[in-house]
Amino acid sequence: MKKQRFVKKLYQYLMMAVSAFVTAIAVYVFINPNKTVPGGITGVATTLYNLFPSMEVSEYYLILNAPILIVAMIFLRGDYTFKTVVASLGASFFMKLFEKFVPNFMFTDSPLIASIMAGMLLGLAMYIPYLNNGSNGGTEIFGKLAEKYRPEWNFSLVITIVNMVILLVGSYFMIATGGDFMLIVYSAITIVVGGKVMDLLAQGVDHPKKFMIVTTQPQQITDAVLSKFGRGVTVMDMYNDDGTLKQTKMVLVVVQYRQAATLRRLIKKVDNQCFAFVKDVGDVWTRPTFNRSYSYDKKI
């Protein structure tokens, strides 16, 4: 048992090193050469490097992250913080290696391509720590502190606000020193692509959908769903304001994304007068096999 825990921990820390390597590629190969400001500590580091090139971007990245990591070790502690330290220091280390062995490397001189590629890599670099209870440091630490000490705050909103401030301020200084106004657009593209890639990896291309169907024909819909998809169905009673039982019931069913269109048609065929709405489901974490392929006839 102890050996299994050790192997699991070792794997998680190795994955944090992989995340650091991906971050370093995004920053050194795509972001820094094209002078974009993709928010976060990365955006601050690249801005400072382009304004004051007496230090390398890896050094700015390390110096900016150091006080944040110290705060995290004091107020957050635990495994999460140690993994974040590994990811942050690792990114600086790999950037330093790139600076030494492939100085002034530029993969493309197209800011648009660079912004898209950087966003894709940063999305992957965010997803890896997400899977392994860690982070890449920087503004993610601010969000984690807000989550712990101000749980009423919106965690993602805190990070978004900080990143947008960094993007606007950094882009202003870049433009003021001769940069193109389009830097703001390219920087925003990197942030948006990074977020979308992160969501795609977290939810998958076939992420679940939750259907809530208020109907007077719950049995017919239940039978149709069970027959068509082989999915479990939950039927709930509904009540009037005075506590009396309604004739309508709510049917809840979760299906895969690719099954959603078929289920819509099925519901409409069985009860086109029902009230139905759909919500995204982040994960069915108690059923790891949920997203295995189910054989079903798409025709209704």
In this prediction, residues 67-90 reach a mean pLDDT of 90
In this prediction, residues 152-178 reach a mean pLDDT of 80
Percentage of the chain lying above the pLDDT 70 cut = 91
In this prediction, residues 243-256 reach a mean pLDDT of 91
Residue of higher predicted confidence among 36 and 153: 36
Name the pTM for this structure: 0.76
Q: Class of the 209-280 domain?
A: alpha beta
Place of tokens 């909103």: 157
Query: Does the pLDDT value for residue 210 go beyond 70?
Result: yes
CA nearest to 250, candidates 264, 233, 265: 233
Place of tokens 């972001």: 31
Long-range contacts at 292-296 (CB < 8 A, ≥ 24 apart): 294/229, 294/230, 294/231, 294/256, 294/259, 296/228, 296/229, 296/230, 296/259, 296/262
Residue of higher predicted confidence among 230 and 290: 230
Question: So what's the pLDDT on residue 151?
Answer: 75
**Residue 279 DSSP class:** E
The domain limits of the chain are 2-203, 209-280
- Residue 229: count other Cβ atoms within 10 Å of its Cβ: 20
Encoding tokens for residue 210?
A: 């939750």
Query: Does the pLDDT value for residue 241 go beyond 80?
Result: yes
Query: Does the pLDDT value for residue 42 go beyond 80?
Result: yes
Residue of higher predicted confidence among 138 and 13: 13
Query: Does the pLDDT value for residue 189 go beyond 80?
Result: yes
Query: Does the pLDDT value for residue 95 go beyond 90?
Result: yes
**Structure-derived torsion over alpha carbons of residues 223, 225, 226, 228, reported in degrees to the nearest 10:** 110
Assign 288 a pLDDT band (cuts: 50, 70, 90).
low
In this prediction, residues 35-39 reach a mean pLDDT of 87
256-276 per-residue burial string, b: 16 or more CB within 10 A, e: under 16: bbebeebbeebbeebbeebeb
Question: So what's the pLDDT on residue 296?
Answer: 58
Question: So what's the pLDDT on residue 217?
Answer: 93
CA nearest to 34, candidates 63, 57, 17: 57
In this prediction, residues 52-57 reach a mean pLDDT of 92
Question: So what's the pLDDT on residue 161?
Answer: 80
In this prediction, residues 161-176 reach a mean pLDDT of 86
Residue of higher predicted confidence among 261 and 296: 261
Question: So what's the pLDDT on residue 198?
Answer: 85
User: Residue 165, Cα to own-chain centre: how many angstroms?
Assistant: 20
Encoding tokens for residue 79?
A: 């495994």
Question: So what's the pLDDT on residue 290?
Answer: 65
In this prediction, residues 249-256 reach a mean pLDDT of 92
Assign 256 a pLDDT band (cuts: 50, 70, 90).
confident
State the chain's mean pLDDT as an integer. Answer: 87
In this prediction, residues 179-188 reach a mean pLDDT of 88
Question: So what's the pLDDT on residue 300?
Answer: 62
